[in-house]
Amino acid sequence: MTDRYPPRSLAGLSVLLQAGALDPRTLAEETLDAIRRHDDPSIFVALTAERAMAEAEAASARIRSGRSLGLLDGIPIAWKDLFDLEGMPTTAGSVILADARPAASDAAVVAALRQAGMVAVGRVNMSEFAFSGLGINPHYGTPRNPASADAARLPGGSSSGSAAAVASGLVPVSIGTDTGGSVRIPAAFTGIVGYKASRGRYSMKGVFPLATSLDSLGPLCRSAQDAIWIDAAMRGATPSPARSIALSDISLVVPQTVVFEDCEEEVVVAFEATIARLEKAGVRVRRQPIPAFAEIFEVMGKRGPLVTAEAFALHHERLAGPAAGTIDRRVVARLRLGEKITLVDYLETLAERERLTAEVESMIGPNEIIAYPTVSHVAPLTAPLLEDDDLFVKTNFKTLRNTMIGNFLDFCGVSIPCGKGSAGLPVGFLLSGVRHNDDHLMKTSLALEETIRGAD
Is 248 part of the annotated catalytic residue set?
no
Catalytic residue among 80, 196, 420, 443: 80
Q: How far is CA 388 from CA 94, 139, 144, 385, in A?
A: 21, 18, 18, 5
d(CA 327, CA 285): 46
| Strand (E) or helix (H) holding 33 | helix 24-37
Cis peptide before 158 (omega within 30 of 0): yes
Is 415 part of the annotated catalytic residue set?
no
Catalytic residue among 42, 60, 148, 158: 158
Q: How far is CA 24 from CA 10, 63, 116, 450, in A?
A: 13, 9, 14, 29
> Which letter does DSSP use for residue 259 in this model?
T
Catalytic residue among 182, 216, 376, 432: 182
| Strand (E) or helix (H) holding 252 | strand 251-255
d(CA 348, CA 344): 6
d(CA 329, CA 341): 20
The answer to whether the beta carbons of residues 336 and 275 sit under 8 Å apart is no
Cα 149–Cα 153–Cα 156 angle in degrees, nearest 5: 125
Burial class (CB in 10 A: 0-12, 13-18, 19+), 264: middle
The alpha-carbon radius of gyration of the chain (Å, integer) is 21
| Strand (E) or helix (H) holding 288 | strand 284-288
Burial class (CB in 10 A: 0-12, 13-18, 19+), 181: buried
| Strand (E) or helix (H) holding 428 | strand 426-433
d(CA 227, CA 13): 14
For 237, what's the count of Cα atoms within 13 Å in the CB-facing half-sphere? 12
For 272, what's the count of Cα atoms within 13 Å in the CB-facing half-sphere? 10
Is 158 part of the annotated catalytic residue set?
yes
> Which letter does DSSP use for residue 434 in this model?
S
Residue 4: helix, strand or coil by DSSP?
A: coil
Alpha helices (runs of H) in 107-178, residue ranges in sequence order: 108-115, 160-167
Residues annotated catalytic, as ranges:
80, 158, 182
